[in-house]
Structure 1
């Protein structure tokens, strides 16, 4: 007896209901709670009625909030650019110049940083970049400078270096997957037609690998905007970002309404930038077909 459309629909609903329930409980419900909190009145470590937009008004009128959001976006932009520019050659080398039997080994080595805690990796960069640290010892030992550079004292620069290292594997892997899908015969055809290796790369390899680059950009950009551990440990709390302000409002000042408003505003800005980036790249890719 053939299954009726209604029975097939019920079977489909039963199949997807567990992940739907999980998504609602773990994703939608917390986001909805933060959104509701952001338009409530915060006082004495709690939120209460009436509903108000004062939190958003304060958020967009006080210079300190705009400055921290701007710094977070700037740091995330430079981290993303540095990470992708450094990750692409690594992924290209593994994809095109490493024997197929050894590619898994190389990918295994790239993921080694994940074996240690993120906080431990950040703390190690304090030892490398800090005053009288490893970098200072190398520079002074080679006679490259009479004074210790102490990169850690340059808050934004040290944060960018640390985040770029921490998120490098996230950029390498999607780019590698995209490069693996490039048809090698297209590269051979380009060179047979007289194109140089560089022009073949620009006209064939790079455009075909752009999906991986776009994925790497989003994977790195979105979480680095909300990173608060690195500015706290590396910058010593002297170079805060928007997530540090969020943590201060939520846990120290116990103003959950204002902290939620900051979170909603930051998520909205990051989402708009990410969507605009994806749409721009779709237009670009469509123009190359």
Structure 2
């Protein structure tokens, strides 16, 4: 069968087109991921690695209460970031798709991507300035007389981390939802209105279910990478705001425990995968029930 496929000019052309991205993904993703998984089953003896198979890293990672706390906190923060980001992204995507003139949609999409024109680190530092003790928000509130002294509760906590991450990942959530909304046949909405439904119920029964693919994509695109973000918690989370990604970073670059760090990374990836799979299955069941 393989020989027959290779003899087909169309199959050879398709294989030629697929091979470069496949090799790129293999080298840049599969091999490093495999190395991390392999490292998690090794141990470190001084400055050398013991390649003897062991589960000691996973036993320590699962048994230590600090690591369980960090994992739970990471999933909670990522979930909050995802919820805030998608709730804010959907109205924007809806407005661009349904309210903006088609000739100006490209301009609006360009404006949405403006945050990507600067470094991610610069955007985080700017939020640190905005939310800081003497930052923009505190200065403005003091200027109008709302407060007498700067608020300390808006910086160096999980709220600041959620706000910063939601802003940083907003375009990732807006664009998939916009694409899903653009694919909706407007005649479905007109038919719903003609059958007596109001605009709100038309949105609930027609627009929202038909745009669920974009919502699911946005949730996954935001949730998965925010679990591994360590820059924002480091700069804005404060002493008690560290997440699992910060611990993994310190394992590799600080306290020289790469094998334990690899085990924590694998556990985090598996946890994120399980949560994402559950979410996708629940959405599929909900859409199936509606159909």
Coarse TM-score class (shorter-chain normalised): over 0.9
1:177-214 CA-partner distances (Å, limit 9, x unpaired): 11111111111111111111111110111111110001
Deviations 1:48-101 (Å, cap 9, x if unpaired)? 132110110010111100011111011101000000000000000111110000
The match for 1:19 is 21
2:164 to 159, 162, 165: 162
User: Relative to 1, partners in 2 of residues 1:194 and 1:261: Cα closer, same or farther, differing over 3 Å?
Assistant: same
> Who is 1:135 aligned against?
137
Does 2:237 correspond to 1:235?
A: yes
Instruction: Indicate the residue corresponding to 1:267 in structure 2.
Output: 269
Q: Does 1:278 align with 2:284?
A: no
Contact 2:161–2:233, Cα closer than 8 Å, also in 1: yes
Provide the rounded CA distance (Å) in 1 between the counterparts of 2:6 and 2:121: 52
RMSD: 1.7
- Cα distance 1:5–1:246, how it changes in 2: closer, same or farther (>3 A)? closer
Q: Is the 8 A contact 2:156 2:238 kept in 1?
A: no
Structure 1 residues 163-242: aligned runs within 5 Å: 163-236=165-238, 238-242=240-244
Does structure 2 retain, via aligned residues, the 8 Å contact 1:129–1:150? Answer: no
TM-score (norm 2): 0.94
The aligned residue for residue 83 of structure 1 is 85
Q: Indicate how the Cα distance of structure 1 residues 45 and 80 shifts in structure 2: closer, same or farther if over 3 A, else same.
A: farther
Could you say what secondary structure the match of 1:167 adopts?
helix
Aligned equivalents of 1:5, 1:224: Cα separation in 2 = 42
Are 2:70 and 1:68 equivalent residues in the alignment? Answer: yes
- Answer whether contact 1:46 1:255 (CA < 8 A) is retained: no
Structure 2 residues without counterparts, runs of 5 or longer: none
Q: What secondary structure, in the 3-state scheme, does the structure 1 residue paired with 2:211 have?
A: helix
- Structure 1: where are the runs of 5+ without partners? none
Question: What is the DSSP-based 3-state SS (H/G/I as helix, E as strand, rest coil) of the residue aligned with 2:52?
Answer: coil
CA–CA separation in structure 2 for the residues paired with 1:78 and 1:54: 33
TM-score normalised to structure 1 length: 0.94
In structure 2, distance between residues paired with 1:52 and 1:25: 26
Match of 1:252 in 2: 254
Name 1:7's counterpart in structure 2.
7
Rounded to whole Å, the distance in 2 between the matches of 1:217 and 1:4 is 42
Shift of 1:161: 0.6
Contact 1:72 1:241 in 2 (8 A): yes
**Cα distance in structure 2, aligned partners of 1:53 and 1:193:** 62
Aligned residue in 1 for 2:148 = 146
Q: How far off is 1:24 after superposition?
A: 2.0
Deviation, structure 1 residue 143: 2.1
SS of 2:184's partner is coil
Tell me the residue number matched to 1:98.
100
Q: Is the 8 A contact 2:155 2:236 kept in 1?
A: no
Deviations 1:99-136 (A, max 9, x none): 00000000000000000000000000011001011000
- 1:19-52 CA distances to partner (integer Å, 9 max, x unpaired)? 3322222211111111110010123344213211
Count of equivalent residues: 287
In structure 2, the partner of 1:107 is: 109
Residues 1:197 and 1:15: Cα distance change in structure 2 (over 3 Å): closer
User: Is contact 1:152-1:235 (8 Å) kept?
Assistant: no
On the 8 A contact 2:156/2:236 being kept in 1, the answer is no
